[in-house]
Structure 1
Amino acid sequence: MISNNFKFIFFLFLAVVVVGACQSNKKSDVYSDWNHIDDSNEFLSNVIIEDIFTPPVASRIIVYSNLAAYESLAALNDTISSFHGKLNDFQIKNGDEEFSNVNPSIASFIAFHTVAKELVFSKDLVSKHLDSLKENFSANFDQEVIEVSYAFGESIANQIVDYSKSDGYHERTGLTRYSYDNDPGKWKATPPDYMEGIEPNWHTLRPLILDSASQFRPEPPTKFDSTENSQFYKEALHVYETQNNLNDEQVEIAKFWDCNPNISYRKGHMMFYNQKISPGGHWISISNIATQKKGLDIYESSRVLTLVSISLYDAFLSCWETKYETSLIRPITYINRYIDPNWNSLLQTPAFPEYTSGHSVISTAAATVLTNLLGDDIYFEDTTETAFGLPVRTFESFLDASNEAAISRLYGGIHYMPAITNGVKQGDKVANLVISRLIKK
């Protein structure tokens, strides 16, 4: 749920900006330097948590919202370039409005939130957020500037919404669901909820950069085997023994990177759920922390957030294709069956197949893109999880953080090591494709 503290801080910040802007100028350049990107993404993350979207779906909401803001800014400032013709099937027109009267910050804000509203369930939250700002705009800025900025932002947003409608998202619901069979090495629903597989057809969506979701499919996982001397048994035993001997920091690491959007727990005969940020949302938060630390303007902030969100989206597609192609049994199922029937994983096992590790893939993809954009030696304090009662963790670099996120899945008891090591390689390949096509000139 969106906290009152967050709302208060955001609107206090807005009020300060508005007052300062009004004192200096009420013409079309007012608000041109208002960098709302970080606040907009934080707001959207809270809405996504409220709506309990799955991690892949969350990545889709994030990327299209950021793409709308970015394309609005790219049309109005030549310091960043449009992704027109660079993303798969992506073309965009700048609109018919007179650019000289369009306020970039207002237009990009409207574009971001118009797309977000289209993609989330809690449309009323986005509407109230927009309405509160519209009142401030109307009270303080020339009506002509407001109208043309709104129109421009909405024209970009409508094109992004149309683009999203052609990606196969809605068609996936009519496809065949995951079906279980008697193969002992295949994924089965896991306790405590025994949910059916989440997004088994996610790979059918159109990628943004990848040629197809299978482009970077990694080497196959270790062949399933239940005999004690087999390699697969040893990998499962490694998970079992690692978790049984965790130190305090390893437990903290596992919980810090859990990023399970909907954790269930029981109290008596009742089932309760605890909503948290998704893995993609965590990396958007890290991106926000980094852009603030670097003091980037709205144009560069939007560029960073959009490129990271593109890498996250395609990384999820790549990973999910591998998951359901291999459909590998989770450690909790194997260990309960062949090693210890009373064992339980430290983290709640997510409802989808094991190979590869989603956090390993998407964390590496995001961290590699951030490293290329901002450098490999940025020390930062990750405060993302403090809202969920977890402590701050510090990192020497983005890859330092992504490597910790990857190994956290072993500590949590939800992945074998090959899913982690090969997931890191998979994420790196996705990131380098994003870098080669969208960043390097």
Structure 2
Amino acid sequence: MKHLYTVGIAILLLTVSCKEAQPIEITPDNFHASIDNVTKVIIHDIFSPPVASRIYAYPNIAAYEILASNNPDFQSLAGQLNDFTAIPQPEAETTINYDLAALVAHMQLSKQLIFSEDKIEVYRDSLYNVWRNQNEEEFTTSEAYGMKVADHISKWIDKDNYKQTRTMPKFTVQADEPSRWQPTPPAYMAGIEPHWNKIRPFVIEAPDQFKPVPPPAFSMEEDSDFYKELKEVYDISQDITAKGDETEEIAIAQFWDCNPYVSVTRGHLMFATKKITPGGHWIGITKIASKKAGFDNMNTLYAYAKTSVAMADAFISCWDEKYRSNLIRPETLINEYIDDSWKPILQTPPFPEYVSGHSVVSGAAAEALTSIFGDNFSYNDDTETPYGIPVRNFPSFRAAAQEAAISRMYGGIHYRAAVDVGLKQGQDLGKYVVNNLEMKVNNAQASN
């Protein structure tokens, strides 16, 4: 009887041991959820669009690098991204779950790049507890490797000049020059990120590599090109609003608003409503496309990394031009010269007008995504539904980028030149990124 009892205990212990040693499975949904969590923190912490693009790019690169190091069909970005060196390899004889390590590195770097670290930690720890219970040895070795890679990339991050730009002077408004940007209502905020062109780019060689043609020469003469563009913004707005609140143009403007800090004034009270950034919207589109295509972990991180790198460089290129041309917004001039009671459909964001950030970033993101999924990849974009905005359908990424660009005119915050020239600037930059990043082995990437 005692022998049977001993055998029973042994079988029970063996069963428990086998259960504890189950392999840890990481799926694309784990990566989507981690990136979604980063987006929520970006919104909560009210990061500006350029800064948000930086927050997305580095963790996605880290996760991609770890997965690519264990996948012969993909290539490292070491030597391809500016100043980026190869990640460390695991110690010999160590068994690594590369998917887990990639997710660990993603969460660790995300935590370092935002303010509300606790929000990343709570999410991370909920996963860690599950993984430890599944297979403590596999978790421990894989976590250690993920942290090792995160530390390597963190040292690269520290040299991108971001910290230095935090101490540089604020933007000075030149009120004596009529063409120069001035803060706009209702908050009259100072110009955001005037030194963003000093951030180290990822793929492009310099911030002004895709410097656009200058905007039309400033003139308030009614027969000048500039005044005609100003009047066009006003006329479009008047036509749209005369049709009512349910027009297609207003729906397009609101869908692509993506203003992370909208000031609302009620009496003596002013508060902010928080929204996703333009880059966050395209990160959401990347998720939608990856899920529709049924991508595995490797291809999912390939899509996220490529798209976020293109957008990060697009913001550097765009902001380089914004503070060079330093052009005044339509709202300021319309209120002064045409209609002092006019308000744009969208709230004017706090930085110079030319070129349109949405146009540049959307053009770049669309080129990156098209190179991955193809030119006729249709999808339903539900990215804005958390903010009460309905789904829109698109036949391609390029079609979505064109709509995002024109939405800024419908919203009353950009002239036509900023939209058209900005879209081309983003497309040209996006194609450059696509053609200069070798990520997939023997993969013919679209460049048209």
Normalised by the size of structure 2, how large is the TM-score? Answer: 0.91
Q: Are the structure 2 counterparts of residues 98 and 383 from structure 1 closer, same or farther at C-alpha, using a change threshold of 3 Å?
A: farther
CA deviation digits over 1:56-111, x for unaligned, max 9? Answer: 00000000111111111112222221101100000023234347611122101100
Q: Is the 8 A contact 2:364 2:426 kept in 1?
A: yes
CA deviation digits over 1:381-407, x for unaligned, max 9? Answer: 100000001111111111111110000
Q: Aligned residue for 2:183?
A: 189
Q: Which of 134, 144, 147 does residue 151 from structure 1 map onto?
A: 144
Q: Aligned residue for 1:5?
A: none
2: distance between equivalents of 1:279 and 1:79? 31
**Aligned AA for 2:61?**
L
Q: Aligned residue for 1:9?
A: none
Q: Which piece of structure 1 moves more, 57-66 or 77-86?
A: 77-86
Q: Aligned residue for 1:82?
A: 76
Q: Is the 8 A contact 1:34 1:105 kept in 2?
A: no
1: distance between equivalents of 2:93 and 2:360? 40
Q: Aligned residue for 1:36?
A: 30
1: distance between equivalents of 2:104 and 2:45? 21
**Aligned AA for 1:37?**
F
Per-residue deviation, 1:179: 1.1
Q: Are the structure 2 counterparts of residues 291 and 344 from structure 1 closer, same or farther at C-alpha, using a change threshold of 3 Å?
A: same
Q: How does 1:356-435 map to 2 (within 5 A)?
A: 356-435=355-434
> Between Structure 1 and Structure 2, how many residues are aligned?
419
Q: Are the structure 2 counterparts of residues 244 and 25 from structure 1 closer, same or farther at C-alpha, using a change threshold of 3 Å?
A: farther
Q: Does residue 58 of the first structure (1) align with residue 52 of the second (2)?
A: yes
Q: Does residue 180 of the first structure (1) align with residue 195 of the second (2)?
A: no
**Aligned AA for 1:348?**
Q
Q: Aligned residue for 2:222?
A: 228
Q: Does residue 45 of the first structure (1) align with residue 45 of the second (2)?
A: no
1: distance between equivalents of 2:232 and 2:84? 45
**Aligned AA for 1:133?**
L
1: distance between equivalents of 2:123 and 2:73? 29
Q: Aligned residue for 1:336?
A: 335
Q: Does residue 209 of the first structure (1) align with residue 203 of the second (2)?
A: yes
Per-residue deviation, 1:28: 8.0
Q: CA RMSD in A?
A: 1.7
Q: Which piece of structure 1 moves more, 69-78 or 417-426?
A: 69-78
Q: Aligned residue for 1:281?
A: 280
CA deviation digits over 1:116-160, x for unaligned, max 9? Answer: 00011110011111111111011111x221111001100111111
Q: Aligned residue for 1:162?
A: 155
What percentage of residue pairs aligned between the two structures are identical? Answer: 42
Q: Aligned residue for 2:122?
A: 128
Q: Are the structure 2 counterparts of residues 372 and 26 from structure 1 closer, same or farther at C-alpha, using a change threshold of 3 Å?
A: farther
Q: Is the 8 A contact 2:184 2:348 kept in 1?
A: yes
1: distance between equivalents of 2:28 and 2:282? 23
**Aligned AA for 1:60?**
R
Query: 2:180 is paired with a residue of what secondary structure?
Result: coil
**Aligned AA for 2:362?**
S
Q: Is the 8 A contact 1:97 1:148 kept in 2?
A: no
**Aligned AA for 2:126?**
S
1: distance between equivalents of 2:18 and 2:426? 47
**Consecutive unaligned residues in structure 2, runs of 5 or more:** 1-15
Q: Is the 8 A contact 1:79 1:299 kept in 2?
A: no
CA deviation digits over 1:334-359, x for unaligned, max 9? Answer: 11111111111110000000000000
**Aligned AA for 1:227?**
E
Q: Is the 8 A contact 2:68 2:74 kept in 1?
A: yes
**Aligned AA for 1:97?**
E
2: distance between equivalents of 1:173 and 1:210? 23
1: distance between equivalents of 2:428 and 2:22? 43
Q: Are the structure 2 counterparts of residues 178 and 280 from structure 1 closer, same or farther at C-alpha, using a change threshold of 3 Å?
A: same
Query: 1:245 is paired with a residue of what secondary structure?
Result: helix
Q: Which piece of structure 1 moves more, 210-219 or 240-249?
A: 240-249
Q: Are the structure 2 counterparts of residues 23 and 406 from structure 1 closer, same or farther at C-alpha, using a change threshold of 3 Å?
A: farther
**Aligned AA for 2:344?**
S
1: distance between equivalents of 2:27 and 2:334? 56
2: distance between equivalents of 1:230 and 1:184? 15
**Consecutive unaligned residues in structure 1, runs of 5 or more:** 1-21
CA deviation digits over 1:278-327, x for unaligned, max 9? Answer: 00000000000000000000000000100000000000000000000000
Normalised by the size of structure 1, how large is the TM-score? Answer: 0.92
Q: Is the 8 A contact 1:286 1:382 kept in 2?
A: yes
Per-residue deviation, 1:46: 0.8
Q: Does residue 241 of the first structure (1) align with residue 270 of the second (2)?
A: no
**Aligned AA for 2:157?**
S
Q: Aligned residue for 1:347?
A: 346
1: distance between equivalents of 2:166 and 2:24? 45
Q: Is the 8 A contact 2:20 2:133 kept in 1?
A: no
Query: 1:273 is paired with a residue of what secondary structure?
Result: strand
Q: Aligned residue for 1:324?
A: 323
Query: 2:393 is paired with a residue of what secondary structure?
Result: strand
2: distance between equivalents of 1:205 and 1:88? 11
2: distance between equivalents of 1:193 and 1:252? 24
Q: Aligned residue for 1:8?
A: none
Q: Is the 8 A contact 1:95 1:155 kept in 2?
A: no
**Aligned AA for 2:210?**
F
